[in-house]
Amino acid sequence: MDYISTRDKHATAETFTDILLGGLSPDGGLYMPAVYPQLTGETLNAWRQVLIDGGYAALAAEVVKLFADDIPSRVVEDLTAKAYNTDNFAHEEIVPVSQLEDGLYVAHLSEGPTAAFKDMAMQLLGELFEFELTRRGEEINILGATSGDTGSSAEYAMRGRDNIRVFMLTPAGRMTPFQQAQMFGLDDPNIFNIALDGVFDDCQDVVKEVNSDAAFKSKYTIGAVNSINWARLLAQVVYYISSYLKVTESNDERVSFCVPTGNFGDICAGHVAKQMGLPIDRLIVATNENDVLHEFFQTGEYRPRSAAETVATSSPSMDISKASNFERMLFDATSRDAVLTAELFGTKVKEGGFGPDDLGGRGEEILTRIRDEFGFMSGKSTHADRVATIKATHEDNGVLIDPHTADGVFVARGVRDQVETPIIVLETALPVKFADTIVEALGEAPEIPERFAGIMDAGRHVADLPNDAEAVKEFIVDAIENTEV
């Protein structure tokens, strides 16, 4: 399996383990498989049995083997077994799926150590990183940005591991108290929390700026765990497949997925699964008030907003106005035109965005492909919508959901008359992470799972820095020189 950059017109081939540690391509593009492996009916039938006999970890191994052929098969099986087990996840199925109401399901992705769907990818990423670094005798300094859940998931997956440091940028004051407690409460020598004076998009921009400094990135072995890292998406593809297999009885059946998203990573994994041949009907993008993606799918205009225009909402993990993984889908939609992709995301986005007229004279063709062939559609929710959905879902269905999942449920219910197949909403997090909104909806706080007892009482370990890439670089260098891993 070869990998190429979305911006490399020469389609230079890289291996899985090389892009695993590198994250962002040196040309600023994102890595993609040169060709998607195709799922046959025979493969899906075999995987139904694998899921029954070996569980989620065994299925994950089969999927990962298709994309990581430079890691021995038995090693892959060992790594997925270490990642997906009841020591790390609170449910033996890892990703159980339940029916919310007729034609509407929820895939429960929040059974991991930080109660967020990001654990699904991070637990595997931690195993992959440690294996490959040990094999090479190298170390890595992970630089990431989080709007709430990626940071804690990454830190819990990487804490205490050999040859790894984690530097995680967070938007100061923009996360919930529970999210801050999860991250800032960690006191591990290889974990460094940085509160940046800005919003998530500022944090993401700093990560990209540091990564674009090739000399610095090489000298200090900077890697990535954000969804710019292909291995994150690969791990997420697995739960699309497992959820499909759980909801259907034969490969003749199709399902749709509704995905709360801001950075387009979670639903991009669904796009990959659909391109592989998983029988997916529609991929429904659910946004909050920061609706840049919804605007694109409705109008064809992609106009990222500034930090000042990015609204703080009750679903803060989606308070994003520059969707990094959107580039991967557009790359496919343009028939993998690296020159056009580089122009759109390397130039046009910096100038304010792009529209149909900027798509190389193929605007109508590309937008039609995205909607019809790729199956994308979208919706959005307001704070009032989410609060009402949390309340109604609790009262009518006996299920308590967090505000991000509520965004997905609200949008899914709103488009059901346009979708002919069952819809699976991907859960984002447990309600305990967003207690204030739950109190507003129900009049009482959500119950704190036993595994999180006392988390709010821990100390806080975080450095405050200005929104400046050079200041972040200085912090990284100082930490590397003063800590061993």
Catalytic residue IDs: 118
Q: Cα separation of 386 and 394, whole Å?
A: 12
Element at 3 (helix H, strand E): strand 3-5
Determine which helix (DSSP H) or strand (DSSP E) holds 127, and give its type and residue range.
helix 118-136
What is the C-alpha separation between 29 and 221, in angstroms, rounded?
18
Query: Which amino acid makes up residue 465?
Result: L
Query: What are the beta bridge partners of residue 260?
Result: 286
Give the span between the Cα atoms of 427 and 137, in whole angstroms. 38
What beta strand segments (E) does 217-298 contain?
222-223, 255-260, 280-287
Please give the backbone phi and psi of residue 11, each rounded to the nearest 5 degrees, phi first.
50, 50
The helix (run of H) or strand (run of E) holding residue 125 is: helix 118-136
Please give the Cα distance from 424 to 247 (Å, whole number).
Answer: 9
Q: Which residues, 6 or more positions from 201, have their beta carbon under 8 angstroms from its beta carbon?
A: 304, 307, 310, 320, 321, 322
Record the tokens describing residue 419, joined without a space.
């979708």
